[in-house]
Amino acid sequence: KNEVEQSPQNLTAQEGEFITINCSYSVGISALHWLQQHPGGGIVSLFMLSSGKKKHGRLIATINIQEKHSSLHITASHPRDSAVYICAADDGAGSYQLTFGKGTKLSVIP
């Protein structure tokens, strides 16, 4: 069974700062998902990636398959980016279960 670890647990940043959230997993995967959850709100899927790098607006996600590690970067952070960011490992190979990290709570201060 995959173990998914995220760091840091909590992150406070000043508006405009570059932010990095890390995710590592223990078992090879078919895909890695990054999700965003606002307080009391639903979950939004940000990225699904199996190799390399993806970019959407100010968000960038990278994955290193050999090192079993992924990062989510936010450039020019803004208070509206304040949310919990969750990574989830998709084991594939007949498994239908996502294994989730515990999330990183990001607060961006004006």
Partner 1 sequence: NAGVMQNPRHLVRRRGQEARLRCSPMKGHSHVYWYRQLPEEGLKFMVYLQKENIIDESGMPKERFSAEFPKEGPSILRIQQVVRGDSAAYFCASSILGQGDYGYTFGSGTRLTVV
Kindly state whether residue 3 participates in binding partner 1, applying the rule CB under 8 A.
no
Given 7, 12, 26, 97, the residue binding partner 1 (CB under 8 A) = 97
* DSSP secondary structure of the chain: ---EEEE-SEEEEETT--EEEEEEESS--SEEEEEEE-TTS-EEEEEEESSEEEEETTEEEEEETTTTEEEEEESS--GGG-EEEEEEEE--TT---EEE---EEEEEE-
Answer yes or no whether residue 99 interacts with partner 1 by CB under 8 A.
yes
User: Which one of residues 16, 43, 79, 109 is an interface residue with partner 1 (CB under 8 A)?
Assistant: 43
Stretch that binds partner 1, among 20-28, 64-72, 75-83, 101-109 (CB under 8 A): 101-109
Interface with partner 1 by CB under 8 A: which residues? Answer: 30-31, 33, 35, 40-45, 48, 86, 88, 90, 92, 94-103
